[in-house]
Amino acid sequence: MPKKAKDMTAIEVKRLTKAGRHAVGTVSGLLLVVSPSGARSWMVRTMVGDKRKSIGLGAYPENSLSLAQQKARVVKDLIEKGIDPIAEKKARKVALKKKSMQTLSFSEAARQCHKKKALEFTNAKHIDDWISSIKRYADPVIGDLPVSEIDLPEVLSILKPIWTEKTDTANRLRLRIEQVLNWATVSGYRTGENPARWAGHLSEILPKPNKVKKKTHFKALPYKEVGVFMVELRKRTAMTARALEWIILTACRSGEVRGAVWEEINMKDKVWTIPAERMKMKQEHRVPLCVDAIKLLESLPRFEGSPYLFTAARGGPLSDMSISMLCRRMKVEAVPHGFRSTFKDWCSETTSFPDMVSEMALAHGISNEVQAAYRRGDLFDKRRRLMDMWAEYVNTVQVDAGENVTSIRREKIVKIK
């Protein structure tokens, strides 16, 4: 029989500072463990089944001698009842974690999902739009509800009021709610089907978005009017005017132009290479630069500390709204993105280039999977010829005057017979 340890008092325990394990008596196997660093904690060494195990009882002095004795007795009682205290403690932790996960609110789940989704966006506006729509429409209804309890009635209570009046917003919101609930399911916060999924679920309850509201296109200037517009645009000296001129000459998206930096430009080869991370289709895009585009670049001022081609007054990139406001001030029925449609209409109506050439100039994805699989080149040489022709066209103003057509090329008026 092992020697019984002397029962220590609280004062005696307090004086134990030598590194090692010290038996304190009262409950067999109860030890005060002193680490080399001086930290002290409680432990009980006892048989669990056919194995001797060490079971921690907490730090000292946070746990007093009397409290450690109580905990040691509880451990021994559990063992007497055939319960493994270590396994039982782990089970309690798992149950507590599971309960905690089940109570994660939708609002918090959306915040965590947005943090992950934000890494996928290249446009700061899209990052803000994603979470702001959740905060505006979903949080007031289900923000405080645990994600584990959200089902079809809750999702419909958000979408139905705006489905027909704000169809585009509602459809984007549905997708974002679906993404949040998918994230919650994969992360272990909920189980079961996603009540915000469309196919075979909400599609049976809500009308299709394209049936509720006809798709509206960006306002675009008719291609026959682009020459007149360019004459007026070039009279303006603001940086926004130069950015819009560049948008028209390159047929690129506003975000791609506003984010353009000097290191993307190869003046010698007359090429602007937009990296994949800044492109909508996530593929590098080479833009052939016409003579007018090169001259525009040569005229731009350089700002110390700013890498951007088109720099705002405070040194950063231009905002999307600043270019849109320029269109409004010029009283043109078009938005910056609409000039891509102007370019496309001109390509289709006046040139013999294959449709694929203009589609690649616009950096559109190839919808035909077979064509996409076999298409390796980017038709760059053909696109350069196309963009040179486009620059030539926008430098020409055409005005119908009865049977006569007046052509104004770079402010020089000539009569076409």
| Span 233-263, pLDDT tens digits | 999 999 999 999 999 999 999 999 999 999 9
Indicate the CATH number of 10-101 among 3.40.630.30, 3.40.640.10, 3.30.160.390, 3.40.50.2300.
Answer: 3.30.160.390
At the topology level of CATH, where does 106-212 sit? DNA polymerase; domain 1 (1.10.150)
Average pLDDT over residues 77-88: 83
Averaged pLDDT score across all residues of the chain:
86
In this predicted model, what pLDDT tens digit does every residue of 144-170 receive, in sequence order? 999 999 999 999 999 999 998 888 899
Average pLDDT over residues 192-207: 94
Question: Exposure pattern of 335-360 as b/e (b: 16+ CB <10 Å)?
Answer: bbbbbbbbbbbbbeeeeebeeebbbb
As a whole number of angstroms, the distance between CA 300 and CA 293 comes to 11
pLDDT score recorded for residue 399: 54
CATH 3.30.160.390 range(s) for the chain read 10-101
CATH 1.10.443.10 range(s) for the chain read 223-416
Contact 190, 180 (CB under 8 A): no
In this predicted model, what pLDDT tens digit does every residue of 87-103 receive, in sequence order? 878 877 766 666 655 67
Contact 339, 221 (CB under 8 A): yes
Indicate the CATH number of 223-416 among 1.20.58.220, 1.10.443.10, 1.10.357.140, 3.30.360.10.
Answer: 1.10.443.10
In this predicted model, what pLDDT tens digit does every residue of 303-324 receive, in sequence order? 888 999 999 988 889 988 999 9
Confidence band, pLDDT 50/70/90 cuts, at residue 217: low
CATH 1.10.150.130 range(s) for the chain read 106-212
Tokens encoding 315: 């040194």
pLDDT score recorded for residue 99: 61
In this predicted model, what pLDDT tens digit does every residue of 356-397 receive, in sequence order? 999 999 998 765 554 544 455 789 999 999 999 999 999 987
Task: Compute the CA torsion angle 192, 198, 199, 201 (nearest 10 deg).
Answer: 60
pTM for this entry: 0.55
As a whole number of angstroms, the distance between CA 413 and CA 417 comes to 13
Is pLDDT above 70 for 223? Answer: yes
